[in-house]
Amino acid sequence: MANSGSGPTARQEIDQGVVFFRDQLRPFSEANVSIATHALNYGTGCFEGIRAYWNADHEELYILKGREHYERFLRSARILKIQVPYDVDGLMHWTRAMLAANEYRQDVYIRPLAFKGAAMIKVTLSGVRDDLGIFAAPMGDYVRTEGLRATVSSWVRIADNIIPSRAKVTGAYINAALANDDATQDGYDEAIMLSQDGQVAEASSSNLFIVRQGELITTPVTSDILEGITRNVVFQMAKHRGYSYIERPIDRTELYVADEVFLCGTGVQLAGVTEIDHRPVGTGVMGPITKDLQQLYFGAVRGQDPTYKDWLTPVYGKGGT
């Protein structure tokens, strides 16, 4: 099976490298903001998480679904009334330039961030100066990709008419942080969050699929979830593999009787859950459909499967086959 991400964990502090900030490439140490920055005080920003995977045989770093991520990034910015001075092409150009300047030869995680950058106290969105930055850091697996133990969180997933759940809003992630921290402090790997109506929404920072009688099931975009890029990737792979899938509400107890459960997202990639609330999922090991999709995914993201070549943008322009 193709390897998942290799490299440092997401907990490693970032303290060096070249970043893109305020319209130019500059050292990480020069990309600073004021303690009074609006976004720091009020969470008025949006971001993306994008992975790039290194293929040593191709001597190429592949950005995964970069354009789709930046399309969502611009939609998030629109919701928060943030003016981003670049279109998708411009954002992709500067991302490739930043990665090339760092000369990465390993898997990396890319973080574009648009935010209200003015040093001011007023709680508002309109009339506040906007800033944009893009940085990256080497990163391996966000969580392990099989054998995850999860719990249903007591923290409820934020509703879209409270904080936009389909936008990656910086301030909204305290919701995920509270749920995830409680879960990990109790010995679990991840938290599963319910929406206000008591049905399954998603995991703390990833979308969730269950498998029942050979069918893939995931919650609809109206269930206060992030409209995941990797979620759409799973749909595409499932179609190619001949698996049926459906978007519908999922009850909490369906988690306990599912044959398979897996998480998907840029950070977690595609990770199998084998226990929920001290109950084994299926047989207690990663199921065959999850394993098949995971193997397909890890090959595709490194440019090893030409079927999914259009998912990838090469950084160095070699783009081996």
- Catalytic amino acids? 168
Cα–Cα distance for residue pair 299/2, rounded to 1 Å: 6
- Give the whole-angstrom CA distance, residue 223 versus residue 196: 9
